[in-house]
């Protein structure tokens, strides 16, 4: 009997020491997590739409369908803003990779539009982006101008080929003033390769004209 009473006292003591889970808190946490998952999926969906529309806009620009490209750019921006508002409501989605990718793709498309419209290449209008995102888009722009230069050479539009060469020279000069590492360093190296191809195209064209 003494052993039984002793065991009961030990159990009572343990119940006082070992606190059970706060069920109310975990129920709240479950609701918060469900909301986070819903918000995360919404961010991914809007970002994916923006990414797709920005890519399509670049493709339309290359096909000289500028009106269609502008509509696609507008749609991409609308989706980015939707995703951005969802980001503000949920800190957990701040690092959503596809959202960052959509921002960079949009920056690239908008910068390409500025180039085609012979505007000064500068800020991204109606959208705040980080310096890293902007520079990533700017580096990718050199690749798009390289494709444009090849098309101009094929069409024997030598004045536009020359403009492409000069603009990319200025872009690379600006990029060189930054000390990039990691991700942006890779982007910079890719831009250098694209710039080199533009130089080769211009050189080959000049030889044919002699």
Enclosing H/E stretch for 25: helix 23-62
Tell me the mean pLDDT in the region 10-31.
62
Structure tokens at 86: 């969802």
Topology of domain 130-210, CATH = Methane Monooxygenase Hydroxylase; Chain G, domain 1 (1.20.58)
pLDDT band, very low/low/confident/very high, at 206 (cuts 50, 70, 90): confident
pLDDT band, very low/low/confident/very high, at 5 (cuts 50, 70, 90): low
Cβ distance 205 to 161 under 8 Å? Answer: yes
**Average pLDDT of the chain?**
86
DSSP reduced 3-state for 95: coil
pLDDT reported for residue 88: 73
What pTM did the predictor assign?
Answer: 0.82
Higher pLDDT, 5 or 52: 52
Structure tokens at 100: 């960052």
Please say whether the dihedral angle defined by the alpha carbons of residues 103, 174, 116 and 62, taken in this order, is positive or negative.
negative
Tell me the mean pLDDT in the region 64-87.
94
pLDDT band, very low/low/confident/very high, at 96 (cuts 50, 70, 90): low
């Amino acid at each position: 009997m003494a052993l039984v009473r002793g065991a009961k006292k030990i159990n009572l003591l343990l119940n006082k020491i070992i606190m059970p889970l706060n069920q109310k808190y975990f129920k709240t946490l479950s609701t918060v997590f469900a909301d986070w998952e819903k918000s995360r999926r919404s961010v991914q969906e809007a970002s994916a739409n923006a990414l797709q529309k920005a890519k399509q806009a670049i493709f339309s620009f290359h096909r000289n369908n500028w009106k269609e490209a502008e509509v696609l750019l507008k749609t991409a921006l609308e989706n980015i803003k939707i995703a951005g508002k969802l980001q503000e409501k949920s800190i957990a989605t701040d690092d959503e990779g596809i959202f960052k990718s959509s921002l960079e793709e949009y920056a690239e498309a908008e910068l390409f539009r500025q180039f085609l419209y012979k505007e000064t290449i500068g800020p991204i209008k109606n959208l705040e982006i980080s310096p890293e995102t902007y520079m990533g888009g700017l580096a990718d722009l050199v690749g798009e101008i390289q494709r444009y230069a090849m098309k101009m050479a094929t069409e024997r539009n030598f004045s536009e080929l020359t403009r492409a060469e000069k603009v990319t020279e200025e872009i690379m000069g600006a990029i060189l003033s930054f000390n990039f590492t990691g991700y942006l360093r890779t982007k910079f190296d890719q831009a250098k390769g694209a710039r080199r191809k533009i130089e080769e195209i211009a050189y080959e064209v000049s030889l044919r004209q002699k």
